Structure 1
Amino acid sequence: MTISPAQARDQWVAREAEAEAMIPLIGKLNRENHVVVSIYGRSLINKSVIQILKAHRFARQIDTVELNPSDSLKVLNSLQGLNLGVCSIDIAALWHAFEKSDSADLEAWLREELAEVIDGKGKNEQAPQDVVLYGFGRIGRLLARILLERSSGSELNLRAVVVRKNSDVDLFKRASLLRRDSVHGAFKGTIRVDEENNIIIANGTPIQFIYASDPADIDYTAYGINDAIIVDNTGRWRDAESLGQHLKSKGVKRALLTAPGKGMKNIVCGVNDDTIEDSDLVVSAASCTTNAITPVLKVLDDAYTVEHGHVETVHSFTNDQNLIDNFHKGDRRGRSAALNMVITETGAAKAVSKALPQLEGKLTGNAIRVPTPDVSMAILNLQLEKLPADKDELNTLLREASLTSKLRRQIDYTDSNEVVSTDFVGSRAAGVVDGLATIVTPKNVLLYVWYDNEFGYSCQVIRVLESMAGRTTPTFPRAES
């Protein structure tokens, strides 16, 4: 139906008003009940009117129709009186589940659907888990951003950052790097520096900066930090014995490595995080590429059984490479990262078996570093025991996995014929399947998976951190098996 310019304008203004009405409801649920509200994985916490409307528009990629803000507002208003306990709620998926039900009473249906968290406010809540970031590079600062954006409703409490002091203005430099990022944009919030006490106050959260070069020398209890989980994002130590230095510090309970680790469990959240036990004092969150491909491989292996495959990663350059040609201990990495495609090795394919043991010895891998600062792609060339009938069958399987399975936080899906790498900057998924690029032949399948090797990986690290801390929360509607 054609509408006039005036009608289109009136419709937009009405939707703006509905989005404005949502903001205090979303904020109150997050602040008072620790409830995170999202639309198909896109968090609505601290979002503007336009960002909320864009999230509603995005829903058409999933449901073929745009989510009506008035429907979301009905759900949010109904949630206010339920006295909810800690949880995550996808209002788009929840609304469409209600539409498919036989119920005509939204509040009554919600009471049944959310029964396990209704009247749960303040019940069984644990004290926030103290978290310390050891290192403040690319991953460290993104971890800080993620923790800070959700601080009002989070059970993870960022208490401190440990770095080496590089200059007399080190703290101001660190604050500036947190405030501004050439890839991920400006920090969403306010930052102040308390130079006298070596503290950066971000969004009201005081973060103690501790200057040290040896983990075992730090007494965290002197800063009021107890039973902390140390997130080591330096890449300096990668085996259990070396990383165990953190456990010698007063106030430390466990350590998490943001790189592949030896002698410890390598965890890909969504795949094998249920194997983390209290006795696992040192844990690895594996690599960005392993996190990107393992959830997709699990879906394929469950459905078709992977017999053999090769993973080729087209990976953005990293800080390990040289900007201009110079000596480097690694092969080829001494050549200018900004000017060259560089073939290098990757252990990601072999590391998959640490999360999916049934794929041991079935995958090979290689990597090409390219002159882009962020967002990479994994190309999976797989031989399967049982081949899908066609491309549509395979894409439908992966699309459904991204919407309703237990891996929906890890796997995203797109079938746009215009997307390029920068469109995935800030993606919170471990990997995004590019459906239009999927190829199915009589002998094999090829899948193309985008991933933000910085931010998407950091989101996975946070999820592992939640599992280690025992702070995972129920998500509604419940995922299918």
Structure 2
Amino acid sequence: MLQTKDSCLDTWMGQEALAEAMIPVIGRLYRENNVVTTIHGRTLVNKSTMDILKAHRFARRISKDELRPEETAPLLETLLRLEPGSAAIDIALLSQKFKAEGDGATLEEFLRAELAEVVGKRGGDDRSSTDVVLYGFGRIGRLLARLLIEKAGGGQGLRLRAVVVRRGSDNDLTKRASLLRRDSVHGPFRGTIRVDEDANTITANGVQIQVIYSDNPATIDYTAYGIHNALVVDNTGRWRDAEGLSQHLQSKGVARVLLTAPGKGPVKNIVHGINHGSIEETDRIVSAASCTTNAITPVLKAINDKFGVIHGHVETVHSFTNDQNLIDNFHNGDRRGRSAALNMVITETGAATAVAKALPELQGKLTGSSIRVPTPDVSLAILNLSLENGTTKDAVNNFLREMSLRSDLRRQIDYVDSPEVVSTDFVGSRRTGVVDGLATIANGKNLVLYVWYDNEFGYSCQVVRVMEEMAGMKRPSFPATDVVEEAMSVLAALA
């Protein structure tokens, strides 16, 4: 039925009002109960009214029908009354399940039975919090700080306690805070920041961060700041092997170390979603690999599992980074001394080789190279693959679209088929790689895929996921099996 202009606006305003009413409920569930609410994996925590409505609209890509706030608003209110303990709850899937399997039960009766494991356990979260220290406060360090502050909730889980830097100037603390507050690529910090020069602290949205000045990772007494059994995240890239990174373990108060760069030697290179299950409690030093490795490995695994990869070449069109020169000047690396702002610069990448550390079945099957280009963020990986089993453009695109929506890799892989998207559209993407379906080329057993990735923010999201694994920060998920079962049935149908 065609709506009039006035009725369309009235409907929209009603949905706005419902979404606005959801915000404090979502916030209370998160802060008081440590419950993360999502819509098909898209978090609702700390989202605006428009973000919440867009998440409801997104649901049509999975269930064919747009999720209605009229359905989810009472569901959230009922959840809050049930006082659940720590959990990850997908309200879209719960709503679907209630409509399909409610069998005449009230919404409260259904939710009480479905969430029986956590109902009434508010405040009973038995997960101990983990102190986090960021060693280095550059591009990745500051984005990790933003993410950790965003996820602070009621104080459980990962707790950002300190950053370690070398003093750069007399007003160093103010400058560090300013860089956290303002970012030319990712925009302003969402919240408030206060600086205490006497205590050397930055307080962001209530999270007090101790700033420690040191240039020796082995001599810091973190316990003097009340920091114990900390996870140190080394963002400097200065040390990449176990010997160098183990210096952190010599400092008092440090339990484990995570490197935000490819590790060398026996250091485990972890790509979350692929091999995070290999992290053991005895692992004291772990690497989160590189941004490009994280971007391409999930897509490569999906393609290899489905079609088989004989061999391939990975070409990355990569935004320039801090290790290049703004204008021509001496640089130890080949070509990197030439102006990053004026040139495309051919350089090497270890990402193709590094994929095999997370995905051993591709050992020796990939080569790679990179072109640095004059953009500050968002890169593009071009995967030129020879397959064991032939496919078509539509078949591979449908498969990857379903992987992005329903599979265990949906936190890593995204999919887009708009004819108008360009690199800046992917700034802030929380997925590690976004397949550009319209650019896909498939000719029998030859396949070319184009994968966009925010090499800063998307990678930082992966780092936080690895941090959560290392800290044992896992919430029970509800509904427990629906996503996996639905994914397997859909993907089987595509086989």
Band the TM-score falls in, shorter-chain normalisation = over 0.9
* 2:385 is equivalent to residue 382 of structure 1: yes
Residue 147 of structure 1 aligns to a residue whose secondary structure is helix
**Displacement of 1:398 after TM fit?**
1.4
Aligned 1:262-411 pairs, distance under 5 A: 262=264, 263-388=266-391, 390-411=392-413
Q: Distance in 2 between matches of 1:141 and 1:103?
A: 49
* 2:111 is equivalent to residue 110 of structure 1: yes
Whether the aligned pair in 2 keeps the contact of 1:316 and 1:372 (CA below 8 Å) is yes
Shift of the 68–350 alpha-carbon distance from structure 1 to 2, 3 Å rule, reads same
Deviations 1:66-103 (A, max 9, x none): 32221221321232233322222232343334445464
Deviations 1:152-204 (A, max 9, x none): 24510000000000111000000000000001000001000000010001101
Instruction: Tell me which amino acid in the other structure corresponds to 1:35.
Output: V
Shift of the 405–330 alpha-carbon distance from structure 1 to 2, 3 Å rule, reads same
Q: Distance in 1 between matches of 2:418 and 2:113?
A: 37
**Displacement of 1:3 after TM fit?**
1.7
Deviations 1:394-446 (A, max 9, x none): 12221222222111111111122221111111111111111222221113111
Q: How many residues align?
A: 480
Shift of the 362–179 alpha-carbon distance from structure 1 to 2, 3 Å rule, reads same
Shift of the 295–474 alpha-carbon distance from structure 1 to 2, 3 Å rule, reads farther
Residue 326 of structure 1 aligns to a residue whose secondary structure is coil
Instruction: Tell me which amino acid in the other structure corresponds to 2:31.
Output: R
Partner of 2:29: 29
Whether the aligned pair in 2 keeps the contact of 1:162 and 1:212 (CA below 8 Å) is yes
Q: Distance in 2 between matches of 1:351 and 1:227?
A: 30
Instruction: Tell me which amino acid in the other structure corresponds to 1:140.
Output: G
Q: Tell me whether 113-122 or 409-418 shows the greater mean CA deviation.
A: 113-122
Whether the aligned pair in 1 keeps the contact of 2:32 and 2:123 (CA below 8 Å) is no
Instruction: Tell me which amino acid in the other structure corresponds to 1:80.
Output: L
Partner of 2:14: 14
Q: Distance in 1 between matches of 2:79 and 2:163?
A: 37
Shift of the 380–96 alpha-carbon distance from structure 1 to 2, 3 Å rule, reads farther
**Displacement of 1:64 after TM fit?**
4.6
Q: Tell me whether 188-197 or 121-130 shows the greater mean CA deviation.
A: 121-130
Q: Distance in 1 between matches of 2:416 and 2:294?
A: 18
Residue 356 of structure 2 aligns to a residue whose secondary structure is helix
Residue 449 of structure 2 aligns to a residue whose secondary structure is strand
Q: Tell me whether 214-223 or 443-452 shows the greater mean CA deviation.
A: 443-452
Whether the aligned pair in 2 keeps the contact of 1:349 and 1:364 (CA below 8 Å) is yes
Residue 218 of structure 2 aligns to a residue whose secondary structure is helix
Aligned 1:13-92 pairs, distance under 5 A: 13-92=13-92
Q: Distance in 2 between matches of 1:358 and 1:2?
A: 55
**Displacement of 1:44 after TM fit?**
1.8
Whether the aligned pair in 1 keeps the contact of 2:102 and 2:110 (CA below 8 Å) is no
Q: Tell me whether 130-139 or 376-385 shows the greater mean CA deviation.
A: 376-385
Q: Distance in 1 between matches of 2:373 and 2:64?
A: 35
Q: Distance in 2 between matches of 1:317 and 1:298?
A: 27
Deviations 1:336-372 (A, max 9, x none): 1111111111000110111111110011111111111
Q: Tell me whether 1-10 or 185-194 shows the greater mean CA deviation.
A: 1-10
Q: Distance in 1 between matches of 2:109 and 2:405?
A: 25
Q: Tell me whether 52-61 or 195-204 shows the greater mean CA deviation.
A: 52-61
Residue 96 of structure 1 aligns to a residue whose secondary structure is helix
Partner of 1:413: 415
Aligned 1:213-292 pairs, distance under 5 A: 213-262=215-264, 263-292=266-295
Residue 92 of structure 1 aligns to a residue whose secondary structure is helix
Shift of the 351–400 alpha-carbon distance from structure 1 to 2, 3 Å rule, reads same
Whether the aligned pair in 2 keeps the contact of 1:180 and 1:186 (CA below 8 Å) is yes
Residue 444 of structure 2 aligns to a residue whose secondary structure is coil
Q: Distance in 2 between matches of 1:69 and 1:253?
A: 45
**Displacement of 1:124 after TM fit?**
5.0
Q: Distance in 2 between matches of 1:30 and 1:281?
A: 30
Residue 196 of structure 1 aligns to a residue whose secondary structure is coil
**Displacement of 1:142 after TM fit?**
0.2
Q: Distance in 2 between matches of 1:309 and 1:104?
A: 55
Instruction: Tell me which amino acid in the other structure corresponds to 2:359.
Output: L
Instruction: Tell me which amino acid in the other structure corresponds to 1:96.
Output: Q
Whether the aligned pair in 1 keeps the contact of 2:86 and 2:125 (CA below 8 Å) is no
Instruction: Tell me which amino acid in the other structure corresponds to 1:89.
Output: I
Q: Tell me whether 314-323 or 242-251 shows the greater mean CA deviation.
A: 314-323
**Displacement of 1:463 after TM fit?**
0.4
**Displacement of 1:63 after TM fit?**
4.2
Q: Distance in 1 between matches of 2:299 and 2:248?
A: 33
Partner of 1:133: 134
Equivalent in 180, 184, 189 of residue 178 of structure 1? 180
Deviations 1:273-323 (A, max 9, x none): 111011110000000010011111111122222111111111111111111
Taking only the aligned residue pairs, the percentage that are identical comes to 66
Output the TM-score relative to the length of structure 1. Answer: 0.96
Q: Distance in 2 between matches of 1:421 and 1:120?
A: 45
Q: Tell me whether 107-116 or 152-161 shows the greater mean CA deviation.
A: 107-116
Deviations 1:450-481 (A, max 9, x none): 11110010000000000001112233344416
Gaps of 5+ in 1: none
Q: Distance in 2 between matches of 1:191 and 1:396?
A: 45
Whether the aligned pair in 2 keeps the contact of 1:103 and 1:109 (CA below 8 Å) is no
Q: Distance in 1 between matches of 2:409 and 2:113?
A: 24
Residue 224 of structure 2 aligns to a residue whose secondary structure is helix
**Displacement of 1:255 after TM fit?**
0.2
* 2:127 is equivalent to residue 119 of structure 1: no
Gaps of 5+ in 2: 489-495
Partner of 2:493: none
Shift of the 322–41 alpha-carbon distance from structure 1 to 2, 3 Å rule, reads farther
Q: Distance in 2 between matches of 1:108 and 1:395?
A: 41
Instruction: Tell me which amino acid in the other structure corresponds to 2:148.
Output: L
C-alpha RMSD over aligned residues: 1.7
Whether the aligned pair in 1 keeps the contact of 2:313 and 2:368 (CA below 8 Å) is yes
Q: Distance in 2 between matches of 1:114 and 1:452?
A: 36
Instruction: Tell me which amino acid in the other structure corresponds to 1:301.
Output: N
Q: Distance in 2 between matches of 1:101 and 1:191?
A: 47
Q: Distance in 2 between matches of 1:213 and 1:221?
A: 18
Whether the aligned pair in 1 keeps the contact of 2:389 and 2:445 (CA below 8 Å) is no
